[in-house]
């Protein structure tokens, strides 16, 4: 598996898009720090960008890489390599290189600005960890979609729809249901609804850590009231891990049964 990972990783590192993605974060980091002049405030702004953008990039890169490396996959399948190693290696190659672009792209400006002397270092680290999780989750989801759809256009469509649903539509539906059912106790419903969306989960997680009650919103407040800050953090991280493992597991399971 490590060899496949190596080749996929190098392949992506050499591609132009990894640099574009890296440079984008680098620029974003510097600009935000200049405009805000404050690490903590920059972290909040970054959160809003990361939570929408990272899943989108993870989805699109994942789906494009899978379809583009079809030939590579076919070549590997005839070699003495385990199937799960092929797909897991490719997946980790994509997720790894995206995570690296994110961590380096944002890390460099913040370190240069004096992150290590600031109190926001834990907030910032949590932001990067969440970003890494979102990359892993959405790349895994997009690989799953690609594996189940031979048709590129269909696969791409489903992947973008998935992102749109989780990033935008889900929140809308959630809010609407809160308004419609406002007469009823909604605590457990909103807790569950947050758990089922990795993007909402990440947002709640970061806001809990930042402890800004004005931004917490309804779910955040319920989360905090229900679990307390620390327990809430642990539960949401556990949920993120579950969100990562399940699609990877399905990826391995499905790949074993597929015909090429």
Choices 26-34, 66-74, 172-180, 240-248 (CB under 8 A): range interacting with another protein: 66-74
Q: How far is the CB of 233 from another protein (least distance, A)?
A: 41
Q: Near another protein by CB under 8 A, which window of 73-81, 152-160, 190-198, 213-221?
A: 73-81
Smaller CB separation from another protein, 74 or 211: 74
> Taking the mean position of all CA atoms in its chain, how far away is CA 234?
18
x/- site string to another protein, residues 82 to 101, per CB under 8 A? xx------------------
Q: State which of residues 23, 154, 175, 258 lies at the interface with another protein (CB under 8 A).
A: 258
CB-based contacts of 245, cutoff 8 Å, min separation 6:
none
Choice between 11 and 123, CB closer to another protein: 11
Considering the rule CB under 8 A, would residue 79 count as an interface residue with another protein? yes
CB 135 within 8 A of CB 199: no
**Judged by CB under 8 A, does residue 252 bind another protein?**
no
Question: How crowded is residue 204: how many other Cβ atoms within 10 Å of its Cβ?
Answer: 27
Which structure tokens are listed for 203? Answer: 């947002």
DSSP letters for 84-127 = HHHHHHHHHHHHHHHHHHHHHHHHHHHHHHTGGGSTTHHHHHHH
Other Cβ atoms closer than 10 A to 151: 10
Binding site for another protein (CB under 8 A): 3, 7, 11, 14-15, 69-72, 74-83, 256-260
């Amino acid at each position: 598996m490590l060899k496949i990972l190596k080749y996929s990783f190098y392949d992506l590192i050499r591609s132009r898009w990894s640099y574009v993605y890296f440079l984008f974060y680098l620029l974003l980091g510097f600009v935000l720090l200049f405009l805000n002049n404050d690490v903590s405030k920059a972290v909040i702004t970054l959160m809003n960008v990361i939570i929408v953008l990272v899943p989108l990039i993870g989805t699109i890169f994942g789906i494009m890489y899978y379809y583009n490396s079809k030939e590579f996959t076919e070549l590997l399948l005839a070699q003495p390599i385990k199937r799960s190693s092929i797909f897991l290696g490719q997946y980790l190659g994509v997720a790894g290189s995206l995570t690296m672009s994110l961590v380096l792209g944002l890390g460099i400006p913040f370190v240069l600005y004096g992150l290590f002397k600031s109190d926001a270092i834990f907030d910032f680290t949590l932001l990067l960890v969440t970003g890494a999780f979102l990359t892993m989750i959405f790349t895994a989801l997009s690989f799953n979609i690609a594996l189940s759809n031979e048709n590129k256009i269909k696969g791409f469509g489903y992947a973008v729809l998935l992102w749109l649903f989780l990033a935008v539509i889900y929140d809308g539906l959630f809010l609407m249901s809160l308004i419609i059912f406002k007469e009823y106790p909604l605590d457990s419903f909103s807790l569950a609804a947050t758990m089922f969306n990795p993007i909402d989960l990440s947002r709640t997680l970061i806001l809990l850590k930042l402890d800004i009650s004005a931004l917490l919103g309804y779910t955040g407040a319920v989360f905090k009231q229900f679990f307390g800050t620390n327990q809430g953090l642990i539960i949401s991280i556990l949920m993120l891990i579950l969100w990562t493992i399940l699609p990877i597991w399905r990826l391995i399971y499905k790949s074993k049964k597929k015909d090429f």
